[in-house]
């Protein structure tokens, strides 16, 4: 058996110790870095989960159950970086002070203010409440109408022409 800390071979009885919150099998030397526990203490500390009878579930069903569908309804506004910086400075807060107020790292806030990364919706909501600004708006659905000739099917070439011409009516198709 080998020590889970240093990897050396354990010649005597292996010891169980809690080192930095982890229960490990260790050698005598490494046991000095944590608290040695006995088998009784380990058994008492282990939570006993009640066994619930349930119908067998295939892996595919289990994976489907775990996937949650989240529909995004809001997006971050353009120019969020300067809006956040101006509002923070208006309140007389440093990046570090704002970070403490909303429980976020100052480095993350600096990245957001420098437009290196946009805030996620949760962080944007925190910033909105604290700075009393509006950062999230409903997602606008931009729908482009693609013209379709009445007497024929639309082809991929028509779509490419439509995109290239900036939305003008597609030209007649050349017969090959």
Give me the tens of pLDDT residue by residue for the chain, a chain 176 residues long. Answer: 788 888 888 877 778 888 888 888 888 888 888 888 876 666 666 665 565 655 565 655 555 555 556 566 888 889 999 999 999 999 999 999 999 999 999 999 999 999 999 998 889 999 999 999 999 888 876 655 655 555 667 777 777 766 566 555 555 555 55
Architecture of domain 75-138: Orthogonal Bundle (1.10)
pTM of the model: 0.44
Per-residue pLDDT, 38: 78
- CA–centroid distance for 67 within its chain: 14
- Which DSSP symbol is given to 152? S
DSSP 3-state of 142: coil
DSSP 3-state of 19: strand
Per-residue pLDDT, 92: 95
* 33/19 Cα distance (integer angstroms): 6
Per-residue pLDDT, 103: 92
List the domain boundaries for the chain: 1-44, 75-138, 144-176
Per-residue pLDDT, 94: 94
What does R_g of the chain's alpha carbons equal in angstroms?
Answer: 30
Beta bridge partners of residue 22, listed in sequence order:
19
């Amino acid at each position: 058996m080998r020590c889970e800390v240093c990897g050396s071979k354990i010649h005597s009885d292996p010891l169980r110790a809690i080192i930095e919150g982890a229960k490990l099998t260790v050698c005598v030397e490494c046991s000095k870095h944590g608290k040695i526990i006995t088998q009784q203490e380990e058994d008492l500390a282990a939570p006993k989960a009640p066994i619930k009878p349930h119908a067998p579930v295939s892996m595919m069903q289990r994976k489907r159950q775990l996937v949650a569908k989240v529909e995004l309804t809001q997006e971050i506004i353009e120019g969020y970086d300067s809006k956040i910086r101006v509002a923070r400075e208006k309140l007389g807060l440093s990046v570090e002070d704002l970070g403490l107020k909303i429980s976020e790292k100052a480095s993350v806030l600096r990245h957001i203010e420098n437009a290196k990364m946009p805030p996620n919706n949760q962080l944007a909501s925190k910033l909105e409440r604290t700075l009393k600004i509006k950062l999230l708006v409903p997602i606008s659905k931009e729908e482009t109408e693609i013209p379709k000739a009445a007497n024929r099917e639309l082809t991929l070439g028509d779509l490419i022409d439509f995109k290239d011409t900036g939305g003008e009516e597609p030209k007649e198709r050349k017969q090959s």
